[in-house]
Amino acid sequence: MTKIISFDSNNLEFNAISYAVEVLKKGGTVVFPTETVYGLGANALDDVAVRKIFIAKGRPTDNPLIVHIWNTEQVNELVLEIPSVFIKLAEKFWPGPLTMVMKRSGKVSNFITAGLDTIGIRMPNHPIALELLKQADIPVAAPSANISGSPSPTEVEHVIKDLQGKVDIIIDGGDCSVGLESTVLDITIREVLGQVKTDKFVYNKLESEDLKPKSPGVKYKHYSPKAKVVLVEGSIDKMVEEINRLAQQLINEKKKVGILATEQTKYRYLQGKVVSVGDRNRPETIGANFFKLLRYFDDQEVEIILTEAVERQGIGMAIMNRMIRASGYNIIDV
């Protein structure tokens, strides 16, 4: 049976956190909020506990997990060596939505790394997550708290729908502010980051099932709702024209259609269930709402979701990665 703990993140209840800590230390599973999405946590040094994450999510065991910490000193027991650039990045971006990949130590469970010799580590920027990690004082493996492959949970209701009865505790900390998983940076490749390249798997399918990505959310179709997602990319005018055309065609075929528009285009669609995902001039709003609206359309029993692409720059790169994988690479260029 799953226990749900609710409290205001500005008024941390010591007893509630302490209870969740005890569950973690005894090998249980705890769902907790972060600034990105809700995470499903277990003791990263306990093989049996980590296996419970895969069972609860229905997650393939060759998909690595990210480990969460509250103090940079914890990195020492998790990695073989700390690259010199680590301190510079940690001081600048931690706590926050940055995961750094380093060579792992022997203390790390093979279940976490999917047999790789590297591990992804991050420090979340959320008061509940940090208090939980601080009181537990153990590294916590925590992928997104959803059924594997479905949209990541940004509200506790998403978690309850997916995982109630499958985990020990769900901590309700309200909505997640960012709404997209952390950026993953492999710092094993260079001591000095003179140039950072986007991994070829960010926008493309793996060329072989034998290839092993170093972070989750890459190898498999990911973030997908029950509805089919079609991503349309091009100039705004051409995207609107093509989505209107597709919507009319699908409605003629008696399909229930949802359209993910933006504030700039939501009044230009003539049919279908139209919802604004955010403002193109403030792409962070699109990131915060994307997963939430995929789940909303599923609740509305929409069969096909037509969504506009965003520009592939800045946070738009992360948003497009999620859109592409949610669509299963079903992309129309116009």
Report yes or no on 7 lying in a domain. Answer: yes
Same-domain status, 165 and 25: yes
In the chain, at which residue ranges do the beta strands (DSSP E only) sit? 3-6, 30-32, 39-43, 66-68, 98-103, 118-122, 140-141, 169-172, 183-186, 228-233, 257-261, 273-276, 304-308, 331-333
Q: How many residues does the chain have?
A: 334
Report yes or no on 81 lying in a domain. Answer: yes
Report yes or no on 291 lying in a domain. Answer: yes
pLDDT of residue 192: 45
Name residue 28's amino acid: G
Contact 303, 267 (CB under 8 A): no
Rounded distance between C-alpha atoms, residue 67 and residue 111, angstroms? 12
pTM of the model: 0.84
Q: Which helix (H) or strand (E) holds 249?
A: helix 236-252
Beta strand 98-103 with 118-122 is: antiparallel
pLDDT of residue 181: 84
Alpha carbon of 83 to those of 44, 100, 121, 175: distances in Å?
A: 22, 11, 13, 34
Return the residue matching tokens 């690595």. 64
The token pair at 224 is 């997908």
Write down which residue in 123, 152, 186 finishes a domain.
Answer: 186
228 SS3 class: strand
Report yes or no on 181 lying in a domain. Answer: yes
DSSP letter for 151, please.
P
Beta strand 3-6 with 169-172 is: parallel
Rounded distance between C-alpha atoms, residue 2 and residue 233, angstroms? 42
Same-domain status, 165 and 241: no
Angular region, 57: left φ>0, alpha ψ -120 to 50, beta rest: alpha
Same-domain status, 124 and 249: no
Rounded distance between C-alpha atoms, residue 65 and residue 201, angstroms? 17
Report yes or no on 14 lying in a domain. Answer: yes
Q: Give percent of the chain above pLDDT 90.
A: 75
Same-domain status, 159 and 288: no
Nearest alpha carbon to residue 261 among 217, 247, 177: 247
What number of other Cβ atoms are within 10 A of residue 189's Cβ?
11
Write down which residue in 131, 161, 186 finishes a domain.
Answer: 186
Contact 325, 224 (CB under 8 A): yes
pLDDT of residue 236: 97
CATH code at position 288: 3.40.50.11030
> pLDDT tens-digit profile of 137-156?
999 999 999 999 899 999 99
Same-domain status, 180 and 72: yes
Alpha carbon of 84 to those of 105, 111, 119, 121, 189: distances in Å?
A: 17, 27, 17, 16, 12
The token pair at 305 is 């979701």
Same-domain status, 49 and 160: yes
Same-domain status, 153 and 11: yes
The token pair at 194 is 């003179």
Report yes or no on 155 lying in a domain. Answer: yes
Write down which residue in 186, 201, 216 finishes a domain.
Answer: 186
Same-domain status, 26 and 158: yes
pLDDT of residue 168: 98
Per run of 10 residues, the mean pLDDT along the chain (length 334 residues) is 78 72 97 97 95 95 94 96 92 96 90 91 96 96 94 95 97 91 81 51 51 53 82 97 96 97 96 96 95 95 97 92 92 96
Same-domain status, 14 and 70: yes
Report yes or no on 250 lying in a domain. Answer: yes
Contact 24, 46 (CB under 8 A): no
Contact 211, 330 (CB under 8 A): no
Report yes or no on 287 lying in a domain. Answer: yes
65 SS3 class: coil
Rounded distance between C-alpha atoms, residue 164 and residue 169, angstroms? 9
pLDDT of residue 62: 87
Same-domain status, 103 and 234: no
Give the chain's domain count.
Answer: 2
Same-domain status, 156 and 296: no
State which residues form the domain around 81: 3-186
CATH code at position 40: 3.90.870.10
pLDDT of residue 6: 84
Same-domain status, 46 and 102: yes
Residue 140: strand pairing partners: 43, 68
